[in-house]
Structure 1
Amino acid sequence: MKVKREINIMRRLSHPHVVRLFEVIDTNTHIYVVMEYLNSGELFYYITERNRLPEDEARHFFQQIISGVEYCHNHMVVHRDLKPENLLLDSKRNVKIADFGLGNIMRDGHFLKTSCGSPNYAAPEVVTNRLYAGPEADVWSCGVILYALICGRLPFDDDNFPGLYARIRNGVYQIANHMSRSASDLIARIFVVNPVNRISIPEIRQHPWFQEHIPRYIARATVDTLYDTTKVDEEIVRDMIQMGFIAREVIGSLLNNVQNEITVTYYLMLHRQFQSRFSYGKNDLLESSEPLDQAEVYLRSVSTDEQRWTLGFKSQAPPHQTMTNVLRVFQSKNVRWKCIGPFNMKCLWEAPNSKSSKANFIAQFPQTPQTKAISGKLLPSSAATDDSVKFELQLYKANGEMYVLDLQWLDGPAFLFLEICASFLFAVGVF
C-alpha cells in the first residue's frame, strides 16, 4: 500500500527538483518502478563529507529545495519526511526530492493527524500528535535542513526522545557564531513553534537571504511552465517517428494518456530535452541557457514541413477580428461553442446525424459587436455523444502584435480531433 500511494503521489509531479517517475510495471509478484537516475548520492553524505557548507552553497541547495517543495504544495502534495537522506543529487549538484512514502494528498478543510517522519526533522505539531495542515510541517523540516547545511549538525538533538521532543516543542536551538545575521533571521522565522505564525514559503521567497544570487527560473516561481507535460512537443514526435514509431499511435497515446512504451519513450525524451536546456552559470547556479521569455511562447515558428504537427496558427490580425474569422469557420464545420473567458471557448463537434445536434441551443459570444453576429451555441455537458469531440480554444498574445490560437483536445476520439484540426487549418489557409 505504501508503494502504491507513493506512486500515485509521484504521478502528480513533474518538476526539475523532484525525482521523475516514468513508468510503473505491476506484475503478480513485483512492482517495477522506472524512475530518474541520479548518480551523486544523498545530500546527507555530501554534508557529512564537508562538515558544513559555505552559505552561498547552502543557499544554492536551499533555493532548489524550496522550489520543489512549493511545487508539491501547489499540487496538493505534502512530503512529511524531508531530510538530507531523501534529497538526491545529480551529476551537476542539483537537488531532487525523493521518497514520498510518507507523503499525502491535501484536501481543503481536512487536517492530517499521523505522527510520522524522522524525529529530528519533525515539527512541534507533529511530535505532539496535534492535527496539522501539512505545508507548515514541511517548512519546519526545510529549516532543519538549512541549519544542517550551514552548521553541519542538527538544531534539535538529544540522547533520548523525551529530551528531543521537549527541545522541538519549545523551539530551543543554538545559533552558530559563524552564521550570518540574515541566515539566522530566516531560520528563526522558520523555527516558530506555532505553525500559524511560522513563515510560509512565499514569505521565504521574499526573504533577503533567499533572494541573494537567486536563479532566474526560481525567482519567477514558474518552473513548472518550463517542463510542460500538457502539450505535445512536435519536435519529440518527429524524433520518435524517425525511431520507427507511427505518428498516429504516438499522438493517440499521448492525448489519451495511455501507459505504454510510446508514452514512456516520449516522457523520457521530454525529460532529456528539458535537462539539456539548462547549464551551470556564474557561481555554479542553475541558469537557463535561453531567456525565460522564450520559454513562455506557446507555439514556436515552424517551417512548412513541420506545420502538420502544429495544432494552431499565428495571426497578426486584431484579436477580435481573428476570433470572428475563426468562429465563422467553426460554424461552417458544424462546431458549437460556449464562451468561458476572454478569447477562450470550449467547443463541441458532433457528427451531422447525431440526435443531440438537432437541439436548439442559445447563441453565446457577446464580447464585441463583430462577434455578436456569429451564432455560436451554448453547450450543456449532456450534448456530447460517441461521435462528438470536445476541445478548447484559446487566443494568446505572443511577441509584438502577433497572436497565437491554440486548440487543445478535451474528450472524444483523438484521431477525429486531429481530422477536425486539419480541416480547420486547411480552411484558414495554413496548409
Structure 2
Amino acid sequence: MKDGEFLRTSCGSPNYAAPEVISGNLYAGPEVDVWSCGVILYALLCGALPFDDESIPNLFKKIRGGMYSLPSHLSDDARDLIPRMLVVDPMKRITIPEIRQHPWFQTNLPPYLQHPPEAVEHEARKVDEEVVAKCLTLQFPGGMSRDQVVQSIERDERTPVRVAYDLVLDHKNAKIRIDELRNVKRHDNQPKTFSPPDPTLLVPGRGPIPMAASPMIAASPGDAMRQFGGRTPLTRGPPAMPSVQHMNDALAEKKRRRWYLGIQSKKEPAHVMSEVYKALLVLHFEWKVLAPYRVKCRWQPPLAFAPSTGPSHAKPIKIGLQLYKVQQHIYLLDFENLGGDAFTYMNLCARIITELKTLSGAVRSMAPPTDMHAPPVGHPSHPHQLHNPHINLHG
C-alpha cells in the first residue's frame, strides 16, 4: 500500500461491505468505513441487518442497489442519517466530519466524545502530573525518583510503573466521565448515547476485556500493585475503575444486558479448548500454548493470497486466544490481534468462530449427551485459576 493509491482488496463480511468493495472496484478507506458504520448503526437501532439474504448473488444485488427499508419506529434524525450513510455512490456519501456534526450524533453526546480524534491523540501523549504524583506514593522495588517514573511511562513498556500509571489514570478518567454522564439530561423520546468508560482512549493498543472476566480489578492502584507483587501481569486486564454494572445502577432505571467481546460457551473449559485446537488444526493454524487456557496462534497466508502485491503482504497473522470465566458456568473466548493485517485478522476470527460452531453442531448430532463434555474440571473464580494438565494438546 502506498500513500495516495486506491485500495482494491475485497475483504470482510459481505453484509457490511460497501458496493464498491464487493464489486471489485478501486476504493478509498473513509467512504467504505462510513458505509459499514451505517450498517452497524442500522443493526443497533433496528435489530436486524439492512442487507441480508441467504443467496450471496441476491445479497450483492441488494447492496449494489441500496435496497433496504427503514422501520417506522426510528426517530427523524436517525431516518435522515442512515440513508446518507448508505448511499451507493461513495462520492455522495456523508463524510465522517459531517456525521460528527449531525443532530443524531450530537444528541446527548458525552463530553469526552465531543473532541476530535486529533485532540485526543495529542492529550494521550501528555503525562498526567497528578497521576505521576500518585504513583510516587507507591512503593516500587528499589525506590524511584519522579524523573525515573516519567521515563518509564514515556517508554511505553509493560513495566510495574506503567501498569500503575495506567490504573490510576483510568480510575481518574472514569470518575470524570461518570460525573459528566450524570450531568447529561436524558429524554425517553431521544436515542440513548451511553457508552462505558473506554480504557483504550488514552492508552493506545489495548483492547477492552469484560469487566467480570479478570481478577486484576482492584480497589485501588496500590492494591493492584501488591496483587502483582511488583511484577507486570502476564495478560492484559482491565483498569481499576468502577464496573459497567455499577454505572448502570447509578444512571439507568432498568437493567441493561451486558456486552462482551468474544464468543461465549456454557461447556466445560477443557471441552472448549479442545474444540479450539480442532478448529485451529482444520484452518491450518500454527500455535503455541502459553498457558492451559491461553494460546498464541499464527496463520501464514498462501502465496496466491495476494498475487498482485509484493512479499510484504505475505506476513503471517498472529492471534491471541484466551478463555475467561465471566459468570458461573459461562466462559468467554477472547480474540486479540497480535500482529498482521486488520481485515485478514477479522476474517480469520470469523472463520474460527464458524468452525467452532460447526464442530459444536457436529458433536450435538453425533454424540450422546453424556459424551458432549470433557472430564469435569474445577470452576475457578477467574481465568488464571483454570487448570487442567491434560489440555495441552500441542507440544
- TM-score class, shorter-chain normalisation, is 0.3 to 0.5
**Structure 1-normalised TM-score?**
0.39
**Structure 2-normalised TM-score?**
0.42
Larger strand percent = 1
